[in-house]
Amino acid sequence: GRVWTQVEALSKELSEQTVLVRARIHNTRGKGKSAFLVLRQRTATVQAILFADDVTVSKGMVKYATQISKESIVDVEGIVKVPENPIEGCSQKDVELKVTGIRAVSRAAVLPFELVDAARSEEEVKAAAERGEILATVGQDLRLDNRFLDLRTPANQAIFKVQSAVCQIFKNTLLAEGFQEIHTPKLIAGASEGGAAVFRLDYMGTPACLAQSPQLYKQMAICADFDRVFEVGPVFRAENSYTHRHLCEFMGLDLEMAIHEHYFEVLDVIEKLFGAIFDGLATTYAKELAVIAQQYPFEVPTFKPLRLTFPEGIALLQQGGYPDVDPMGDLNTELERALGRIVKEKYGTDFFVLHRYPSAVRPFYTMPCVDDPAYSNSYDVFIRGEEIISGAQRIHEADFLTQRATECGIPLDTIQSYIDSFKFGAPPHGGAGVGLERVVMLYCGLNNIRKTSMFPRDPKRLTP
Ligand code: 4AD
């Protein structure tokens, strides 16, 4: 076997060595007897030069190389050289390859857009426009129609590294806190979150649903003495809302745990978890964050644990220019963002918990407060004033649950086995559901959830 080298490993230390790389043609310039190629492997780039000296490289070979289309995959054999001047625009700027052999492995068809255009920041386009220059950009629909190509840009490569990191930190932190990973069914009999936002399907002749969350099943796991559980899995919502933050399928990071005295025990875990996520990203993934910021400028968000009650949040909004806000209603996007700005100014954190929501705006399984059932032991968590988590202490008595489901208009027959699971003794418990795409979107200050979903599903998109 021959030894393959990674483009990102090409450095001065390999000077005069012959290496073999498999990479894409990022760019090509031909000039008479020579050709200058930029080879790209994921986000690493290096210049490769062919010169027709009629000894190792023929004129035919130079011509062959310049005719390989952009984004094609090539195998290149070359000698590592140290150029007189650094090669600006390449990540491996201290070296270049003197090509001794090149072969197209997989040729790319004509591109629907140029990757350099897809990788350009809005700021760059604006600045150029001010100079009277027009730079091409690529619209979101065209990007998403060709997502397999769009995903090759440096910012996208970094976004999905960050997404992977959030999942890893989620798992590792919860495992260290004594949680166990579980997997619950996605084909289920009834709506788990109620309402109309459910995909219905036929299950061997029986009406069924795609799970709107692992809610009912993670609770049944608690009833089965699993004590502390988490799940990372797809969540389906038939929400016909075409917004910057709603998907029809997203990744749910769920957790559920038995509690002893107070739902604050869940909030303690959530704060520990997000402390670890914020910390881990800012330290271990600083490089990826910088790459994302090059295309989509943002400031790394600040984290300080902060818990406000819902009434406290309402008071902040009332004092902060929203005197008419309904103290018992849910917060809309505008109010949430406004609260986020007020909190940032007053407490200096982009992350906060709002708890003790009015019962009327929470799901049927939410535990009301003992001192005032108009409120509930529930919470939402925000980054930059947008919701990333919702959760609560749950009702753990079958009779009370039946009563609440009935009051909320949930057909009992579809959730009977869930209700039954509380008949044989169930510990007090609570948990939360985190939207993975929202966490990455809001952490990175991105303006659209489609940017953090690899192949987004929204009311208008089912392909690719
Ligand atoms: O607020 P949701 O619907 O709560 C639940 O699913 C509960 N079972 C959670 C619990 O444990 N009590 O969803 C939880 C989170 C939201 O905070 C949001 O981050 C995300 O999931 N989310 C969505 N993300 C993308 N697209 C959508 N349509 C989303 N709906 C909710």
- Please work out whether the CB of residue 237 comes within 6 Å of at least one atom of ligand 1: yes
- At 410, which amino acid appears? I
Residues 398 and 441 in one domain: yes
pTM: 0.96
Across the chain, which has 464 residues, the per-10-residue mean pLDDT values are 91 97 96 94 96 90 96 97 96 97 97 96 93 95 97 97 98 98 95 84 96 96 98 96 95 98 98 98 97 97 97 98 96 97 98 98 96 98 98 98 93 91 97 98 98 97 97
Q: Which of 106, 129, 164 is a domain's end point? A: 106
Full residue range of the structural domain in which residue 60 is found: 7-106
What ipTM goes with this model?
A: 0.98
Identify whether 462 is part of a domain.
no
Looking at the DSSP bridge assignments, the partners of residue 436 are none
Identify whether 258 is part of a domain.
yes
Q: What residue owns the CA closest to ligand 1's atom 6?
A: 213
pLDDT (0 to 100) of residue 1: 67
Residues 307 and 413 in one domain: yes
Contacts of 329-334 with CB under 8 Å at 24 or more apart are 329/358, 329/361, 330/357, 330/358, 330/361, 333/243, 333/245, 333/386
Q: What residue owns the CA closest to ligand 1's atom 30?
A: 246
Residues 258 and 346 in one domain: yes
Identify whether 459 is part of a domain.
no
- At 200, which amino acid appears? R
Q: Which of 106, 141, 173 is a domain's end point? A: 106
pLDDT (0 to 100) of residue 431: 98
Q: What residue owns the CA closest to ligand 1's atom 8?
A: 215
- Whether 390 is a known active-site residue: answer yes
Exactly one of 40, 355, 429, 438 is catalytic; name it. 438
Ligand 1 pocket test, pick from 215, 216, 235, 259 with the greatest ligand atom count within 8 Å of Cβ, gives 235
355 sits in which H/E element:
strand 351-355
Residues 252 and 278 in one domain: yes
